[in-house]
A and B are shown apart, each in its own frame.
Chain A
Amino acid sequence: MSEWLVDAVESDLDGFHLGPVDLSLAPGRAVAVLGSSGAGKTTLLRTLAGFLRVRRGRILRDGTDISDWMPEERSLGYVPQGLGLFPQRTVFGNVRYPMELRGHLDADARTEALLDRFHLTGLRRRYPARLSAGEQQRVAIARALAAEPELVVWDEPWQALDVEARHELGLVLQDLRETERIPVVVVTHDPGLAFSLADSFVVLDHGRMRFSGGPTDLLEHPPDAFTARFVGFENVYNRTSLEAHRDRPFPAWLLTEAGPGGVAVGNPEVVPTTGVPSTWEGSVRSARPSPDGLSVELAVDELMVMARLPRPWPEPLPTVGERLRFNVARTVVRRLGGDAEDAR
C-alpha cells in the first residue's frame, strides 16, 4: 500500500478557499476530518480525489506528485456523500463496474468474492433504491475495493445508519486498515466512530486547518467551540456572552480561563449534599436521565450549565427551581482559540 502526503494543499470552489491543509497517511492509518457544515470537509476530499484543482501545494503518492492527475488515474476510492451508487445497475453490476473498466477476465469471480465478503450475495439482483442504508453502504465499499484503491476517501460514511449498521460499518473500515493496510480518510459527524477508527484528526474551520494531531491531543486541546462540543464538552461559552455578564462571579471566573475563542467546560460535578465546600450554586432548569448519567441543566449567573450526576443518582430527581451546588474541576476547563491562526 502506498504512503500519501498532502503538503500545504490549497484549492478554490466558487469563492470558497480551502487550505493550506497538511495530511500524512502511512499504510493502515486513518484520518478523520472534522468541522461544522461549510468548513471545507467535502472540498478537501474532492480535491484529494481530483475533482478540484490543486492551486498550491502538492499531493504525493509514494513520493510522486499526483496533483495534476485525473481522478481516474489516482487509484483512490472516493465514496461521495450519498454514496453515488449507479441506480441503473444491480448490486452485482455496481460492484463489477470497476473490474469491467479494467477488462479483468475473472471479473465475475472477483465480484462474487466481494459480495460474499460483504454479505451481499443474497442481494445481488437488487437495485440500489431497494436496499437499506446499511446495505447501500456495503455495496459502496465493496465497489470501491473492486477498483483496488491505494487510499479510501469517504464522505460521511455513517450518515443515515442505525446503531447496528454503524457498528458493523465501523468493523468493516477497521478491517480495511488492519488487514488490507489501506489508508482511510473519513469525514464524519460521529464522535464515537471517529475515535474508534481514526488515529489522527484534522479540524477544518472556514476552509482553514485549525488542528492536526492525535486523539489525546484533540481531547486535551480542542481548538475551537465546534471541536470542543464534538469531543464531549457540553458547556461552551464564547467571549462575548461571558463579557456581557462579567460583573457576575461565575462568568467573571470563566473569563479568566477563556482564550480568544472562549472556553469549554466539561460536565461539572454536582455536589449533592450540603456541608461540602463547593464553589458555585445554580437553580435547576431541568433534570433528565440519560445513559451517561442524570443531566441537570442549571442556571448560574445568567449562564446555562449542563452538569451530570453519575449513576445511580438519588431519587427523587431534583425539581425545577431547586438550588444545587456544584464544583468545576480545573481539569475539565479548556481554553479555546485562535492564537496564530486568528492572526492570519
Chain B
Amino acid sequence: MSAGGGTPVRRRWRSGPYWLALQVALSGSLLLLLLLPIVALFTYAPFSRIVAAAENTYVREAIWLTLYASGIAVLVTALLAIPLGYLLARHRFFGRSVVESLVALPVAVPHLMVGLGIFFLVLPGSPLYDFTNAIGFPVYDTIWGVVVVMAVVSAPYTVLASQLSFEAVDARVIEAARSLGAGGATTFITVTLPTALRGIVAGLLLTWARAVSEIGGILILAYTIYPGGPYNGPVTNTISVYIYDLFQAGNLTDAAAVSSLFLLVAFALFLTVRIGERAGWLPWRRGDLTP
C-alpha cells in the first residue's frame, strides 16, 4: 500500500535512436511472423468460399462442438484447478515440487501422448472403461473424450495462474479479515478469492484458448464425435480435426476457408472479452488495484 493519492507521474525512459530502432525491428519481426500466416490463410481461399464455409451446417456444427466442449472443459478446470492452485500457494508439504512438475507436464509433452495415456487408461474391457460407460461418461468418440483431453492439457494454466494469484494476496490482508471476525472459509470467499480473481480469470482465458486449439489428444480419443452426453447433434468433429481432415484429403481451399472462418470467430470472442475487461464489465476493474 503506497502513500499518496492522485494521478501517478509516468516517466518516460530516455533512449537513443539506435536502441529504439533495434527494439522496433525485433518486435516488428515477431509481429510479422504472427501476422503473415494469417494473411496467407485469408488470401488463399476466395472470400466466397469463406462465406460458403460459414453457411455449411457441418462446419457450424464442428465450430459449435469445439466451443461447447471447451466451455465445459473450462468449467471443470475452474472447479478442480483453482483449489489445487490455492493448496500449492498456501501450504508447504512434502512432495510439493513433484506435484508442481506433474502439473506442468501436460504442457511440456506432445499432446498425442496425453491422448494415448487416457486411451490406455480407459482401454475397452478395463474396469475404468466399464465404469465410465456405466455412469454415463463414455469417452471414446464422444464429447466427454474431447472435454477430458482439453481439461488435461489446459488445466496447468489455471493451476499456475491461481497459484501465483493466491501467493500475491498479502497475508496481512487475510490476517486482518480473520481478526475482524471472519472464519477461514469466510475469509477465503470474501477476501482471498476476490483479491486473486483477476489473475485467476486471466488463467481461465488462457485455459480456454488452449482448449479450443487442441488437436493431438483428440485425434486419438475422439476423432469422430457421436451424439451422447450433453451433445445431441449430428456426427461431427472438433474444428481442429475437421480442418486436418480437409488438408489430408487435399482440399486446400476449404482447409484455408474454414481456418479463416474459425480465426474470425476466435478473434471476435477474445476481442469481446478484452473490451469487456477494459470497459469494466468484470468486477475487479472497479478496484483499480494499481495505485
Query: Measuring CB to CB, which residues of chain A are less than 8 angstroms from any residue of chain B?
Result: 46, 49-51, 70-72, 74, 76-89, 97-98, 101-102, 127-133, 135-136, 143-144, 146-147, 160
User: Could you give 7 example pairs across A and B, Cβ below 8 Å?
Assistant: A76-B179, A78-B175, A82-B172, A101-B181, A129-B287, A130-B5, A133-B4
A49-B179, A72-B178, A130-B288 as given contacts; A97 in contact with B190, CB under 8 Å = yes
- The verdict on A51 contacting B1 (CB below 8 Å), with A84-B170, A130-B291 known, is no
B3 interface hit (Cβ, 8 Å):
yes
Contact call A131/B5, Cβ cutoff below 8 A: yes
CB of A77 within 8 A of CB of B179, answer yes
Given that A78-B175, A81-B172, A84-B170 are known contacts, is A129 also in contact with B180, CB under 8 Å in the complex?
A: no
Q: How far is the CA of A82 from the CA of B283 in the complex (A)?
A: 24
A89 to B182, CA, bound (A): 16
- Whether B179 pairs with A129 at a CB distance below 8 angstroms is no
- B240: Cβ under 8 A from any A Cβ: no
Tell me the count of chain B residues lying within 8 A, CB to CB, of chain A.
Answer: 31
Q: Which residue of A lies closest to B2 (CB)?
A: A129
Most buried by B among A87, A102, A128: A87
Closest A residue to B196 by beta carbon equals A88
Q: Considering the chains assembled together, what is the distance between the CA atoms of A143 and B182 in angstroms?
A: 13
B1, B4, B175, B186: the one contacting A85 at CB < 8 Å is B1
A143 to B191, CA, bound (A): 14
The distance from the CB of B97 to the nearest CB of chain A, in whole angstroms, is 20
CA distance A78 to B171 in the complex (A): 13
Q: Are B173 and A84 in contact (CB under 8 A)?
A: yes
Give the residues in chain B near A129, CB-CB below 8 Å: 1-2, 287-291
Question: Given A133-B3, A133-B4, A97–B177 Cβ distance below 8 Å?
Answer: yes
Chain B residues packing against A (C-beta within 8 Å): 1-5, 170, 172-183, 186, 190-191, 194-195, 283-284, 286-291
| Known A97-B180, A98-B180, A129-B288; contact A71-B175, beta-carbon cutoff 8 A | yes
A46 touching B175 in the complex, CB below 8 Å, given contacts A72-B182, A98-B180, A160-B3: yes
Centre residue among A74, A78, A84, A129 by max chain B CB count within 10 A: A84
A123 to chain B: closest residue by CB: B5
Shortest Cβ gap from B233 to chain A (Å): 41
Query: 8 additional contacts, CB 8 Å, given A80-B172, A101-B180, A129-B291?
Result: A50-B179, A87-B173, A127-B288, A129-B289, A130-B5, A132-B4, A136-B1, A147-B179
CA distance A301 to B191 in the complex (A): 60
Smallest CB separation, B250 vs chain A (Å): 55
B180 touches A83 (CB 8 A): no
In the complex formed, the residue of B with least CB distance to A155 is B172
Choose from A74, A85, A131 the contact partner of B173 (Cβ within 8 Å).
A85
Complex formed: what's the CA distance from A88 to B192 in Å? 10
A86 CB contact (under 8 Å) in B3, B5, B173, B175: B173
Taking CB atoms, residues of chain B closer than 8 Å to A146 are 180
Query: Measured between alpha carbons, how far is A304 from B174 in the docked complex, in Å?
Result: 47
Is the CB–CB distance between B4 and A84 below 8 Å?
A: no
In the bound complex, how far is the Cα of B178 from the Cα of A313, in angstroms? 55
Residues of A within 8 A of B174 (CB): 84
Interface centre among B173, B181, B290 (most CB of A within 10 A): B181
Q: How far is the CA of A129 from the CA of B178 in the complex (A)?
A: 21
Residues of chain A contacted by B180 (CB below 8 angstroms)? 72, 77, 97-98, 101, 143-144, 146-147
Min CB–CB distance A72 → chain B (angstroms): 5
Please state if A87 and B172 are interface contacts (CB–CB under 8 Å). Answer: no
Question: With a CB–CB cut-off of 8 A, which chain A residues contact B290?
Answer: 129
CA distance A325 to B180 in the complex (A): 59
